[in-house]
Amino acid sequence: MKRQLTPEWMDDPAVDPAELREALAFIRKVNLRLGGVKALTKHLERWSANWPDGHEVTILDIATGSADIPVEVVRWARERGHRVRITGVDIHETTLDSAREHVERELGADAPIELVRADAKELVDRYGPLSFDYVHAGMFLHHLTEIEVLTVLRIMDRVAQRGIVWNDLVRSRVAVAGIWALTLREPPITKHDARVSVRAGFTKKEVKDYARRTSLGYCRYRSSFFTQRFTLAGEKRGAWVIG
């Protein structure tokens, strides 16, 4: 099945805010129930064994949407006694408004989450190399052309001091059938965007080729047949050798 890029309605700057909130609510539900949150926290769980006591771990979340994954990471960290500070970036101002509402509603005004309007392809200019311990991109790179995917992966690697997690959709006939069934009763914007997202997803071969072309040899590909999601993730050699 050839990869197909179709503009998603929620990316339109003129999208109706009410419809956008519906689409973001669906993404929150999918991330929580079908592995989007765990795609990041399972890696943090393993890596946290090496975190120095008292260190505040910094995470950049690219295309944060309603910041649902940052919210759940903060909860995960608090339950385990870790300190985290997360920066969520998104280019869509209306989406960021929804993110601010979601963060305050779920965690309060003092949540350790900063939300910033920024273009993922220009993050090095804003933050510089090695600015964060970890960089995460969830269900974002499937919005991009091949050259843009390669650009963002290189930026993720450059901005991350310790490691990266790319969390996205598998492109397969199973995934296409699954998303059609899952969205049958959803609003039109959710139905459209979810279905075109799967057709813009990636095969294992494509992901591993991107990793090779961007020198991400420290990252490993993992996927789930049940959720039809994958991660390309890893920590850099000597990630927590400090001093």
Report pLDDT for 35: 86
Among residues 186, 208, 203, which one has the least CA distance to residue 195?
186
Strands 229-235 and 56-62: unpaired
Q: Which amino acid, one-letter code, is at 29? A: K
Report pLDDT for 97: 95
Q: How far apart are CA 214 and CA 160, in angstroms?
A: 14
The token duo for 195 is: 């279905």
Query: What's the CATH number of domain 17-170+203-235, 3.20.20.80, 3.30.390.50, 2.30.30.700, 3.40.50.150?
Result: 3.40.50.150
| CB burial string 60-73: b at 16+ within 10 A, e below | bbbbbbbbbbbbbb
Strands 160-169 and 220-224: unpaired
> Dmax of the chain from CA atoms?
55
Report pLDDT for 107: 96
Among residues 75, 1, 43, which one has the least CA distance to residue 164?
43
The token duo for 176 is: 């296409």
The token duo for 140 is: 């974002």
Q: What is the pTM of this model?
A: 0.95
pLDDT along the chain (243 residues), means of 10: 92 92 92 90 95 94 96 97 97 95 95 96 92 97 96 97 97 94 91 95 97 96 94 90 63
Count of other CB atoms within 10 angstroms of residue 137: 24
Q: How many CA atoms lie within 13 A of 70 on its CB side?
A: 32
